[in-house]
């Protein structure tokens, strides 16, 4: 991965392919207001957006060109690590933005990866897949710590609890499951409608952008 740094773009709009915000989702918390944007399928910019609206480009890089563009990108809470996966990827790549080098390739899923999210403390990473599973990884080693099975179809997203001890997964089987990561077996299976109500209060997220434009 090639990389460079420099000033951010002037205020306005850009048209990104995908974007991801640091895992805690808080723009106003110091050292946590990082944004990653992918354009052109393989070009990545990581920005720091201050409370006063000043934007600075912290890192700019690209991944090797392939037929499938990047579809997944997520930043660690401190902005030092980036997880990426292409549309057909079974194994996402964890990058260290301080060196521009991959830290680990996460092998374990049998079908394409659909989402990735860091825990609030940055120590864990969860990935979900069309194979009906979610996997939890130790960020420091790149090793899998749990393989969560129970959905009857693709698992489309996941979110950690604030303390990182639990993981919520949502599947196309119209169920959401809550897993205790200190005890890998599933502890609760709830309806999707019920979970959404809980998540509105506890899980910050960016779901999309107006007319494909990211405003800042």
Map out the domains of the chain as residue ranges: 1-105, 108-203
Cα 214 to chain centroid distance, Å, stands at 17
pTM value?
0.67
Cα 161 to chain centroid distance, Å, stands at 15
pLDDT at 106: 95
pLDDT at 214: 36
Q: What is the mean pLDDT of residues 77-103?
A: 86
pLDDT at 142: 92
Percent of the chain topping pLDDT 70:
53
User: Distance between CA atoms of 34 and 180, rounded to whole angstroms?
Assistant: 28
Max avg pLDDT among 29-33, 95-99, 209-213:
95-99
> What fold is seen in the domain 108-203?
Thrombin, subunit H (2.40.10)
Q: What angle do CA 62, 213, 23 make, to 5 degrees?
A: 60
Query: Is pLDDT larger for residue 139 or for residue 191?
Result: 139
Q: What confidence tier does 75 reach under pLDDT thresholds 50, 70, 90? A: confident
The per-residue pLDDT for range 116-164, each reduced to its tens digit, is 999 999 999 999 999 999 999 999 999 999 999 999 999 999 999 989 9
User: Distance between CA atoms of 84 and 7, rounded to whole angstroms?
Assistant: 23
pLDDT at 187: 45
pLDDT at 88: 82
Strands (E), the chain: 2-7, 13-14, 18-21, 34-39, 43-49, 55-62, 70-75, 81-86, 93-96, 101-105, 113-118, 124-129, 133-138, 143-149, 155-160, 166-171, 175-180, 183-191, 214-215
Cα 123 to chain centroid distance, Å, stands at 13
Structure tokens at 153: 């179809």
SS3 11: coil
Query: How high does pLDDT run on average in the chain?
Result: 71
Helices (H), the chain: 192-202
Least confident of 24-38, 117-131, 199-213: 199-213
Query: Is pLDDT larger for residue 127 or for residue 24?
Result: 127
pLDDT at 148: 94
């Amino acid at each position: 991965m090639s990389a460079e740094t420099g000033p951010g773009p002037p205020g306005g709009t850009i048209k990104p392919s995908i974007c991801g915000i640091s895992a805690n989702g808080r723009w106003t918390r110091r050292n946590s207001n990082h944004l990653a944007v992918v354009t052109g399928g393989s070009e990545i910019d990581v920005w720091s957006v201050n409370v006063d609206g000043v934007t600075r480009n912290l890192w700019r890089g690209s991944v090797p060109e392939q037929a499938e563009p990047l579809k997944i990108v997520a930043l660690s809470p401190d902005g030092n690590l980036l997880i990426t996966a292409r549309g057909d990827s079974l194994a996402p790549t964890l990058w260290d933005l301080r060196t521009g080098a991959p830290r680990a390739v996460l092998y374990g899923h049998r079908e394409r990866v659909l989402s990735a999210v860091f825990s609030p403390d940055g120590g864990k990473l969860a990935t979900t897949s069309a194979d009906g599973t979610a996997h939890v990884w130790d960020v420091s080693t790149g090793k899998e710590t749990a393989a969560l099975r129970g959905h009857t179809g693709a698992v489309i997203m996941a979110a950690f609890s604030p303390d990182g001890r639990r993981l919520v997964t949502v599947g196309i089987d119209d169920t959401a499951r809550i897993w205790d990561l200190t005890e890998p077996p599933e502890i609760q299976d709830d309806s999707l409608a019920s979970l959404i109500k809980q998540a509105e209060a506890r899980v910050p997220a960016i779901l999309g952008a107006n007319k494909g434009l990211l405003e800042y």
